[in-house]
Amino acid sequence: MRSLPLPLALTARLAPVAVLATAGWALSSGPDTTPAAKDETPPDTTNRPASAPATEAVTKTYATAPAPCESLAEKTVTSLVPGAEEAGKEIPSTDTEVRRTCSWNALKGYDYRWLDVSYEVMKSDEAAKKSYAERVADRSGGGEIPGLGDAAYSVVNLTTEDEQQTREGTVLVRAANALVVITYNGSDFESKKAPSTEEINKGAIKAAKEAVTALEDGQG
């Protein structure tokens, strides 16, 4: 029996969490150089409201990232990644409150599939909008997905290495101050061909819809 080539390693790039800047204020006064009257009565401040610094609330729908390995139904995992452990494997993160990823992968016969579900919770809607726009700009050739989150984008690419094709789909979704990123790819190590664009794209979008629903249901 001939040996099978190892699948391509998938590297997930997660944008760093944006830093929320805070504003401060300074109060200063000079010494009173006016001589005080001998029997001067102190001013009445009883009814004067205390001054307070103005603050601006930041809209933050989601405070934490949901458990990514629980974001998909079991039947979805088995259909997209045949032979994979349904529980998946969570990737270590430096801050699990704001950034979490779960991965499923398996080789069944000669067919290989890999699926990642990633969540990233940012400090504000504006920070999420900026990161979403930057990531979409880095992935040309795709299209918008209507009705998913506040904004969603899908793109599929084909790569070939040592005559082996791999087709990978990426779905980016912004929901308020959170980003959901789906990566789904596959190869056939017997024919050296990749699954169709339609199969990969539909699979990635299906996973994205369930992942966004899990985010919304959890409400951080």
Q: Which residue has the tokens 């899908």?
A: 154
Q: What span, in angstroms and rounded, lies between the C-alpha atoms of 164 and 161?
A: 5
* pLDDT for res 44: 52
Give the CATH number of domain 68-218; options: 2.60.40, 1.10.10, 1.20.1640, 2.60.120. 2.60.120
Would you say 69 and 102 are in contact if contact means Cβ atoms under 8 Å apart? yes
Q: Where are the domains of the chain?
A: 68-218
Q: Which residue has the tokens 């009257």?
A: 37
The H-or-E segment that residue 152 falls in is: strand 151-161
* pLDDT for res 205: 98
How many other C-beta atoms lie within 10 A of the C-beta of residue 28?
4
The H-or-E segment that residue 118 falls in is: strand 111-121
* pLDDT for res 218: 81
Q: What span, in angstroms and rounded, lies between the C-alpha atoms of 79 and 76?
A: 5
* pLDDT for res 37: 43
Where would I find the H helices in the chain? Answer: 74-80, 125-137, 197-218
For the chain, which residues score pLDDT lower than 70? 1-59, 219-220
Strands 151-161 and 143-144: antiparallel
Report which DSSP code applies to 25: -
* pLDDT for res 149: 97
Q: Provide the whole-model pTM.
A: 0.73
For the record, the structure tokens of 125 come out as 């809607």
Q: What span, in angstroms and rounded, lies between the C-alpha atoms of 16 and 99?
A: 9
Question: How many residues in total does the chain contain?
Answer: 220
